[in-house]
Amino acid sequence: MARVKRGVTSHKRHKRLLNEAEGRTGTNRKLIKRAKEAQLHALAYATRDRKQRKRDFRELWIIRINAAARMNGITYSKLIAGLKKANIDLDRKVLADIAVRDAATFGKIAEVARGA
């Protein structure tokens, strides 16, 4: 019965890990143990920050909408409440885009919200 030598498999796995660790600094890209640890952290941060990015963008949209709404003499909360009463289904992403690119249209939307 022949024995199984596992050096090839380990070397392949380590090589793949070190290739993925490219761009990191110091021992995090050179040593297997440290690279593995850094990789695990990187994956955890990536997962966490995909959720965080959604929160950050929503926050940005709200800031932009509020600024544009105040230029039209209405607060953000009253604008959103008015749009709900008027049955206008525009999400914050679209509203923020309109606020930035087309002030005249946003002004009309604010008027409708104020009327409702």
pLDDT averaged over every residue in the chain = 95
Name the pTM for this structure: 0.77
Question: pLDDT by residue (tens digit) across 26-40?
Answer: 999 999 999 999 999
Domain ranges of the chain: 9-115
Other residues' Cβ atoms within 10 Å of the Cβ of residue 38: 20
Q: What is the pLDDT of residue 84?
A: 96
CB 109 within 8 A of CB 83: yes
Confidence of residue 1 (pLDDT cuts 50, 70, 90): confident
Confidence of residue 116 (pLDDT cuts 50, 70, 90): confident
Q: Averaged over 62-87, what is the pLDDT?
A: 96
Other residues' Cβ atoms within 10 Å of the Cβ of residue 35: 21
Which residues, 6+ apart, have CB-to-CB distance to 64 below 8 Å?
96, 99, 100
Is the pLDDT reported for residue 71 higher than 90?
Answer: yes
Nearest CA to 29 out of 41, 19, 43, 16 is that of: 19
Q: Averaged over 18-28, what is the pLDDT?
A: 94
Is the pLDDT reported for residue 6 higher than 90?
Answer: no
Is the pLDDT reported for residue 113 higher than 90?
Answer: yes
Distances (CA, A) of 24 to 6, 35, 39, 42, 47: 28, 9, 10, 10, 19
CATH number of 9-115: 1.10.1900.20
